[in-house]
Amino acid sequence: MQRREHRLIGVMSGTSLDGVDAVLVSIKTDAQQRVVKVSLVDQVSIAYTPQVRDLVNRLCIPGSSDINDLTLAHFGLSHWNAAAVNALLAKGPYAGSDIEAVCMHGQTVWHAPNPQIFPGPSGDLSVTGTLQIANPSLVASLTGLPVISDFRSADMAEGGQGAPLAPYIDYLLFGNKGHGVAVQNIGGIGNVTVLPGGDDASGVFAFDTGPGNMIMDAVVALGTNGRKLYDEGGSIGASGTICQSLLDALMEDPYFALVPPKSTGREVYGQTFVQELVKKAESLALCFADIVATATAFTAYSIAKAYQDFVIPHTALETVIVSGGGARNTYLLSLLRQYLPEGIVVTTSDAFGVPDQAREAMAFALMGHESLLGRPSNIPAVTGARKPVVLGTITMQHI
Ligand SMILES: Nc1ncnc2c1ncn2[C@@H]1O[C@H](COP(=O)(O)OP(=O)(O)O)[C@@H](O)[C@H]1O
Ligand SMILES: [Mg+2]
């Protein structure tokens, strides 16, 4: 059988605003160009400096966002994405000429999947939108490679939420296990891909479960005056006590009652949400560790509740595979085990050869591969789009 190997670089910068993850991915295809194997060759992560992180965070807050900063960040972040790609290539053994394309997600500054009114040429329109920044022409210039970017817009143009997009790769990497699997990403936001277990991808569904690390990170940064950006290993949370009444109040958040497909982001769980949480916690006289413990419990409980409401009724769920930076928070994982029904195994994607920082960037590399072949890679049942569409915009190599 004729097999081919394709190499692409996926680059992801998520809502945690922790930095840029670049992965070199090898995709093996058969004579019909079907994907038979996706493997990670190498990866590089570049952490944002506090200055860039603060700047991008400000861009994500209505009222504090400045149009000149936004425009400069669009180009400035291209250098961060290109630096990650070039660092990956510098490690060898592959050269730029071995790579088909850089598949760049960009940095989301605003995601508005729910329709809003916008004036149209003949009356009011109902419009959705999303904005990922980092300019692809500049990345193409800095890397010498073609760049595929703006992966979410085509799905939105077809009425979808533009998210989540990673389920496509989850099916290939973790599917067909003969039993129900939930692939739970815990980045800034939490999102799950549910793989019912058969060899048919049509039953796959996915949605954002709610906050991931975003609230915990903000609480830790506030409580340490920015000296710490996250709760390493979950040690602060583990030393505190969960405040049940605050947890109950947080769980009143209307997002959890929405039926999937649904997606959320920093627009909902950003600064304003955290300020209110801290205000409530202070009125209850909670100490720092208790607030972190409760914020961690909030993430774990919202994931478990999402499974109870929307997964377990349809799927014989046996395994939860956690990926994203939250997989390193052992306190969070222990709470998730505690809140889930007994018998469900909680493990991490590392155990399947997919490092927790790599999964999303790998997903964009695979989506870019599909786009180059003119094949759709959104799953309409997951995003709510009217139809499958080819994702992304191709920026040619600069010659
Ligand atoms: N050792 C660790 N212990 C606990 N949490 C961690 C650790 N490493 C990373 N994280 C968490 O993971 C986040 C980054 O996760 P990531 O998957 O990159 O999210 P995103 O895709 O939103 O950028 C950090 O902001 C932090 O909250
Ligand atoms: Mg990240």
- Domains of the chain, start order: 4-166+358-395 (3.30.420.40), 167-352 (3.30.420.40)
Res 198: pLDDT = 72
Q: Evaluate whether 17 touches 57 at the Cβ level (below 8 Å).
A: yes
pLDDT at residue number 175: 83
Tell me how far apart the alpha carbons of residues 20 and 57 are, in angstroms, rounded to a whole number: 15
Residue to mutate (ligand 1; options 81, 186, 213, 214; most atoms within 8 A of CB): 213
Which residue has the least CA distance to atom 11 on ligand 1? Answer: 325
Q: How far is CA 13 from CA 16, 116, 344, 363, in A?
A: 8, 26, 31, 13
- DSSP labels, 127-156: EEEEEEES-HHHHHHHHSS-EEE--SHHHH
β-strands 4-13, 19-29 pairing = antiparallel
Question: Cα-flanking dihedrals φ and ψ of residue 216, to 5°?
Answer: -55, -45
Task: Say how many residues make up the chain.
Answer: 399
Average of per-residue pLDDT values in the chain? 95
Cα of 181 to ligand 1 centre, how many Å?
Answer: 22
Note the pLDDT of residue 1. 54
Nearest CA to ligand 1 atom 21: 14
* C-alpha–C-alpha distance, residues 208 and 365, integer Å: 21
**Distances 166 to 12, 62, 359, 378 between C-alpha atoms, Å:** 12, 28, 8, 9
For residues 305 and 336, give the distance between their C-alpha atoms in angstroms, rounded to a whole number. Answer: 10
Atom of ligand 1 nearest to the CA of 213: 27
Q: pTM of the predicted model, to two decimals?
A: 0.89
Q: Does residue 187's CB lie within 6 angstroms of at least one atom of ligand 1?
A: yes
Find tokens 């890397």 and name the residue.
143
Question: What's the pLDDT score for residue 168?
Answer: 84
Task: Give the per-residue pLDDT at 2.
Answer: 66
Tell me the C-alpha distance between 359 and 183, whole Å.
10
Q: Give the C-alpha separation, 279 to 269, whole Å.
A: 15
Positions in the chain short of pLDDT 50: none
Question: For residue 232, what pLDDT is reported?
Answer: 98
Query: Could you give the angle at the alpha carbon of 322 between the alpha carbons of 319 and 325, nearest 5°?
Result: 175
Q: What is the pLDDT of residues 180-213, one digit of tens each?
A: 999 999 999 999 999 988 766 778 999 999 999 9
